[in-house]
Chains A and B, each alone.
Chain A
Amino acid sequence: MDTLEIIHPGSLTTVQDLGRNGYQQYGVPVSGAIDSYALRLGNLLVGNSEGLPSLEVTLFGCRLRFLADATIAITGADLSPTLDGKPVDMWNCTTVKRGGILAFSRLKSGCRAYLAVGGGISVPVVMGSAATYVRGHIGGFQGRALRAGDVIRTIRFEGSIPVARIPSGYIPNYASNKIELRVTLGPQDDYFTDNGIRTFLNSAYTVSTQADRMGYRLNGPRIQHRAGADIITDGIPLGAVQVPGDGLPIILLADRQTTGGYTKIATVISPDIPLLAQAKPGDEVAFRKVTQDEAFLALQAYEQRIQQLAKLLGPDTVRFDNV
């Protein structure tokens, strides 16, 4: 079913899901929504299973027209979404009539919004995923970012729309210009001096202008290595904090290369990745060390909360698991 027509893609609009697993062994990045929390909640709000493909809308300028009636939810950054000129209630389910025009005109907080559509967006599955890896021309809509004139299909929506509203505690506050990211040290924390580790954990860093889906390069105090920043190339987990020879940290995200040859001082824990995904150049980032056990408990609590919400929003969500 043709559902959406891109009038203007804005800064960057791509189709994303929860990423492409199993192909990093061939050098293919995971990709997927960099704020996976917002993507998952958006899907739950429209009655989809949580990982269905949605649009990731970056910064501002995206405008699209509905070619069919649809149920949508907008989550993530507040990019001042309007439907036919009227503000749309975010983190909520909205029905749109054929011909409706949705626009993201102005950035208020965060930097990436997610548009979930009841039934889910339909693009060819490449290596098990709908996620777009723009650099490698892989997946999504013809392997690329969306352009004016593109028509996006969706799967026919046959479920019922959840009636419950999302409790306000589930809506993140992206308005702060300061975030704290919890990290576990390693895998190569032993390549840094004690002083270097202290610098990393006790300093305020700022997001540089080199911040995209691949990674966020930070500015701030330089982190001291014991003897050089090079390692024998190995894999790069999501959230790895890589410190090359210049001593400045780079946090690696969804589109990160699968392997790399620089030291990784720490790894941002999974529940905190979405916070970083909404940070903008100039925002302040601080790191707080947690133990492996604390990281495990934090992830467990985070996932439980999402599952509770899935239950609250209705049993119908289960029906779409195999779509």
Chain B
Amino acid sequence: MNNGSPHFLAGGDSAIFVEFGNTVSLELNQRVHNLKLAIQRQRVPGIIETVPAYCSLLVYFDPLQIHPDKLRQTLRRLVDQPQESTISRPRLIEIPTAYGGDFGPDIEFIAKHNGLSVDEVIKIHTGTHYPIYMIGFMPGFPYLGGMSPSIAAPRLETPRSKIPAGSVGIAGTQTGIYPVESPGGWRLIGRTPFRIFDPSREPPSVFQAGDYLKFVSISPDEFASIQAKIEQGTYAVKLNSI
């Protein structure tokens, strides 16, 4: 694990990047989440919000409440003196997903492209705990790591103009979930009835950066029954600590 001192990079007068390294790795990403948690726990006055990314944390602050020099000192202290209580404890969130058919029109392509059966694709896709490195690109969109390269596939040559919310797709060696209806070029393999992002919920995203996701295969009937429960407000997503 890299315990080196982070770099501070200026983001103008009211934001600062704390950069732990320059590679995509779970170790660096864990340090990002630990610092984020430490800032939340300490309630550092003058810090407005933080944005975790792969290997850096962007800290927004009010320089009239906390001078930039003081902020740097505080951040350095939080990094150097980690407390047991500020080591982020990831959760595992189960995403019920109906594979194939109208839910995942590209699953046969993925299978053929990789010399697999559709069942094998599902087995591989549901067999991994995917770390959420960060959320970005659009509201609620998780950047997931850890997909098996054995089900990788190129993006569509012509993106679809409308992809339903909850669609699960593959692009290159990445897998992801569309949080809201949008255009996109990912190969679609399935869909979850669960709304991973809902502006009226607090917090609006069911997971946060640092958590893990697991896809669980469900039948079209189960999709319908979960969807009905969601509409009645009686569906609870499965969260486990790991």
Where the two chains meet, the residues of A that have a C-beta atom closer than 8 Å to any C-beta of B are 21-29, 126-127, 136-139, 143, 184-188, 232-240, 257-260, 264, 267-270, 292, 295-296, 298-300, 303
Q: How far apart sit A267 and B13, CA to CA, in the bound complex (Å)? A: 8
Partner of B52 from A25, A29, A264 at Cβ < 8 Å: A25
Q: How far apart sit A176 and B135, CA to CA, in the bound complex (Å)? A: 40
Partner of B139 from A28, A239, A269, A300 at Cβ < 8 Å: A28
Q: Does B222 contact A (CB under 8 A)?
A: no
Residues of chain B within 8 A (CB-CB) of A303 are: 64
Q: Are A21 and B9 in contact (CB under 8 A)?
A: no
In the complex formed, the residue of A with least CB distance to B136 is: A259
Q: Are A26 and B205 in contact (CB under 8 A)?
A: yes
Partner of A138 from B23, B143, B199 at Cβ < 8 Å: B199
Residues of chain B within 8 A (CB-CB) of A260 are: 136
Taking CB atoms and an 8 Å cut-off, the chain B residues in 131-151 that contact chain A are 134-141, 143
Total interface residues in chain B, CB < 8 Å: 49
Partner of A24 from B49, B179, B202 at Cβ < 8 Å: B49
Q: Are A292 and B10 in contact (CB under 8 A)?
A: yes
Taking CB atoms and an 8 Å cut-off, the chain B residues in 39-66 that contact chain A are 48-58, 60, 63-64
Partner of A25 from B12, B51, B179 at Cβ < 8 Å: B51
Given contacts A235-B56, A237-B15, A303-B64, contact A28 B10 (CB under 8 A): no
| B interface SS class | loop
State the Cβ distance, B16 to closest chain A Cβ, in Å.
Answer: 9
Listed from nearest, the 3 A-B pairs whose CB atoms lie closest are: A235-B58, A267-B12, A259-B136
Q: Are A296 and B63 in contact (CB under 8 A)?
A: yes
Where the two chains meet, the residues of B that have a C-beta atom closer than 8 Å to any C-beta of A are 9-15, 17, 19, 22-24, 36, 48-58, 60, 63-64, 67-68, 134-141, 143, 179-180, 197, 199-200, 202-205, 208-209
Q: How far apart sit A68 and B238, CA to CA, in the bound complex (Å)? A: 50
Q: Are A22 and B24 in contact (CB under 8 A)?
A: no
Given contacts A233-B134, A237-B60, A267-B10, contact A23 B15 (CB under 8 A): no
Q: How far apart sit A150 and B142, CA to CA, in the bound complex (Å)? A: 35
Residues of chain B within 8 A (CB-CB) of A187 are: 9-11, 17, 19
Q: Are B15 and A238 in contact (CB under 8 A)?
A: yes
Given contacts A238-B15, A267-B10, A296-B13, contact A26 B54 (CB under 8 A): no
Q: Which of A25, A188, A239 lies at the interface centre, i.e. has the most chain B CB atoms within 10 A of its CB? A: A25
Q: A185-B10, A267-B12 are in contact. List 6 more A-B contacts (CB 8 A).
A: A21-B48, A26-B139, A232-B23, A238-B14, A267-B13, A296-B68
Q: Are A21 and B60 in contact (CB under 8 A)?
A: yes
Residues of chain B within 8 A (CB-CB) of A24 are: 49, 51, 60
9 A-B pairs with C-beta separation under 8 A: A25-B209, A136-B199, A184-B12, A235-B53, A235-B58, A237-B14, A237-B60, A240-B11, A299-B64
Q: How far apart sit A187 and B57, CA to CA, in the bound complex (Å)? A: 12
Given contacts A235-B58, A300-B64, contact A269 B17 (CB under 8 A): no
In the complex formed, the residue of B with least CB distance to A290 is: B13
Residues of chain A within 8 A (CB-CB) of B10 are: 184-187, 267, 292
Q: Are A237 and B12 in contact (CB under 8 A)?
A: yes
Q: Are B13 and A299 in contact (CB under 8 A)?
A: yes
Given contacts A233-B53, A233-B143, contact A126 B15 (CB under 8 A): no
Residues of chain A within 8 A (CB-CB) of B49 are: 21-25
Q: Are A270 and B13 in contact (CB under 8 A)?
A: yes
Q: Are A127 and B136 in contact (CB under 8 A)?
A: no
Residues of chain A within 8 A (CB-CB) of B134 are: 233, 259
Partner of A232 from B53, B58, B197 at Cβ < 8 Å: B53
In the complex formed, the residue of A with least CB distance to B59 is: A235
Q: Which of B22, B58, B200 lies at the interface centre, i.e. has the most chain A CB atoms within 10 A of its CB? A: B58
Residues of chain A within 8 A (CB-CB) of B36 are: 25
Q: How far apart sit A292 and B17, CA to CA, in the bound complex (Å)? A: 14
Q: Are B208 and A234 in contact (CB under 8 A)?
A: no
Q: How far apart sit A38 and B52, CA to CA, in the bound complex (Å)? A: 31
State the Cβ distance, B179 to closest chain A Cβ, in Å.
Answer: 8
Q: How far apart sit A258 and B209, CA to CA, in the bound complex (Å)? A: 14
In the complex formed, the residue of B with least CB distance to A303 is: B64
Q: Are B23 and A234 in contact (CB under 8 A)?
A: no
Q: Which of B51, B57, B136 lies at the interface centre, i.e. has the most chain A CB atoms within 10 A of its CB? A: B136
Residues of chain A within 8 A (CB-CB) of B135 are: 25-27
In the complex formed, the residue of A with least CB distance to B205 is: A26
State the Cβ distance, B177 to closest chain A Cβ, in Å.
Answer: 12
State the Cβ distance, A142 to closest chain B Cβ, in Å.
Answer: 12
In the complex formed, the residue of B with least CB distance to A187 is: B9
In the complex formed, the residue of A with least CB distance to B206 is: A26
Q: How far apart sit A60 and B12, CA to CA, in the bound complex (Å)? A: 32
Q: Are A239 and B12 in contact (CB under 8 A)?
A: yes
Residues of chain A within 8 A (CB-CB) of B55 are: 232, 234
Q: How far apart sit A60 and B60, CA to CA, in the bound complex (Å)? A: 34
